[in-house]
Amino acid sequence: MGCRKPVNSVAFSPDGRTALSCSGDQTVKLWDIATGKELASFTGHEAEVFTVAFSPDGRTALSGGYDGRLILWDVATGYKLRTIAADAFVNAVAFSPDGRTALSGSGNSILGEASCCGMSRRAGNFARRAIRSQSIRSRSPPMAAAPFPEVAME
């Protein structure tokens, strides 16, 4: 139990009773805040996990890491609900306040948005990926029309 490598990110659940952590040991862990005990360990990433976030209702979580994957988790069971490949390693994830949209930031300096998962840039095109519908829809708007413009990180 516990993290075998340094922790990269932590997130409180909306009710404040639990927290998630992710680390270089390729896991996302669920912790009881009151006792400090590990409740579960979610496995599925194939490399270091950099970021994790709870959905606003606390029932799901999203993680991303060096393996270039976004994984949507069922927090109660630890099951992977969906895995989506990104263009590069994922170092940031966040849910919108209503939980219907999530953002991801990756090593290619693109901030992506889509219906509850991530948006990636491939050869200048944005690909929307929807978790709830279990489908992938693509379109190629000009950069200025994209929901979130390119963010250059140096």
Q: What is the pLDDT of residues 78-100, one digit of tens each?
A: 999 999 888 788 989 999 898 88
What pLDDT is stored for residue 129 in this prediction?
36
pLDDT digits (tens, 9 = 90+) for 108-138: 544 555 444 443 333 222 233 333 322 222 2
What total of structural domains would you count in the chain? 1
pLDDT at 85: 84
Q: Which helix (H) or strand (E) holds 54?
A: strand 49-54
In a domain, 153, yes or no: no
Contact 61, 54 (CB under 8 A): yes
**Does residue 1 lie in a domain region?**
no
Domain residues for 12? 7-145
For β-strands 80-85 and 90-95, DSSP reports them as: unpaired
Domain assignment present for 120: yes
> Looking at the domain assignment, is residue 151 inside a domain?
no
Contact criterion met (CB below 8 Å) for 22 and 49: yes
Q: Between the CA of residue 126 and those of 37, 44, 86, 111, what are the distances in Å? A: 41, 26, 11, 11
Whether 154 is covered by a domain: the verdict is no
Instruction: Give me the CATH number covering residue 87.
Output: 2.130.10.10
- Mean pLDDT (the chain, rounded): 74
- Is 152 inside any structural domain? no
